[in-house]
Amino acid sequence: MIALIMAGGVGSRFWPLSRKSNPKQFLNILSDKPMINMTIDRLEGLVPLEKTFIVTAASQVELIKKHLPELPEKNIIIEPFGMNTAPCIALSSFYLKDIVPQDEVMVVLPADHLIKDEKRFRESLHYGKEAAKQGKLVTFGIKPTYPATGYGYIQAGGWLDEQTQSIQKFTEKPDLSQANEFLVSANYYWNSGMFMWSVETILNSYQKLQPQIYENMQKIEEKWQQKGKNSDISQLYKEMPKIPVDIGIMEKVSNAVVIPVDYGWSDVGSWGALYDLSPKDEHENVIKTEKEVINSSKNYVNTKKTVALIGVENLVVVETDDALLIADKNNTEKVKQIVENLKKKGKTELL
């Protein structure tokens, strides 16, 4: 088995800490290790580092080398820029097809997720590997624990065996009413964005279902053969449809399956989500520095300075050398909008 870790995102919802120069997956926000190193460690005993591949933006290659110095340089797949997961996985699969056997099983993982029960995670990969060896396209559905409106969902069909179900469809982030319906239903799962398949199966699926991506990848492959893997492929790459692999491939095939899992998963998608996952003090505050607190609770504060809180609740406060974020904890999804506003104003020094 090989692992493909997608690590090219910017993590704009974690501004001002997450920047282009040091995105979310390289931050120590969950432990004393960056999130990408936690993802690598989770595969220990299943996939050695020499069989682990990272697909990342050209701007992040040096960060990968810094955080993973033992990773072979040929194991870094360079994406010119973000184009969603369907082009990203196609690029990686074409890169890998001349390096590994076609029947090699590939697990595809985001670099910046949390999984608390790593033993059960590894067990689920064993089940996924067996299904992938049978020509299935596998995804992992998280059993929902509350009516989340920030996640996509997978609607599962009938059980195919003790571990896998067929897939009816993928649903984008629902409103609260829909999310409540999904929660009480027995066949809706959060979409984890984790996949398993053989290299051959996913390439055949692209050829049948996404011919534009496949044809552009053939042209990119020709360029690689002529000018090397570091040649400029940006023009061909940006012509691909910017779609997720869930919609572009998984929803269109008859051999896709979902493995329901429950191992304390989170995509850690916002400061509010990080607060929920963090250890709290007796007033339900998360403050990792010297503090004085009076009548204040349920706050998340990330700064190196001494903090004094008086009569405040549900705040997120994050400070860097050049920026200060103050937000209601229930509105931290909108941090991404702040980043978009800064882009429009040309404030590149803050991005």
Cβ neighbours around 65 below 10 Å, total: 13
DSSP summary character for residue 75: G
Handedness of CA 344, 347, 348, 350 (dihedral sign): negative
Residues in the chain with pLDDT < 70? none
According to the model, what pLDDT value does residue 346 have? 95
Cβ neighbours around 204 below 10 Å, total: 16
- Note the pLDDT tens digit of each residue in 143-162: 999 998 889 999 999 999 99
According to the model, what pLDDT value does residue 252 have? 93
Q: Are strands 153-159 and 165-171 parallel, antiparallel or unpaired?
A: antiparallel
Fold for the domain defined by 2-266: Spore Coat Polysaccharide Biosynthesis Protein SpsA; Chain A (3.90.550)
Domain with CATH 3.90.550.10 in the chain: 2-266
Measured CA to CA, the distance from residue 95 to residue 113 in angstroms comes to 24
Phi-psi region of 264 (alpha: psi -120 to 50; beta: other; left: phi over 0): left
- Phi then psi dihedrals of residue 185, to 5 deg: -75, 150
- Phi then psi dihedrals of residue 267, to 5 deg: -85, 0
- Phi then psi dihedrals of residue 324, to 5 deg: -135, 120
According to the model, what pLDDT value does residue 9 have? 85
Q: Would you say 190 and 125 are in contact if contact means Cβ atoms under 8 Å apart? A: no
How would you class 83 by CB atoms within 10 Å of its CB: exposed for 0-12, middle for 13-18, buried for 19 or more?
A: buried
Tokens of 345: 């104003």
Q: Considering the chain, what is the average pLDDT of its residues?
A: 94
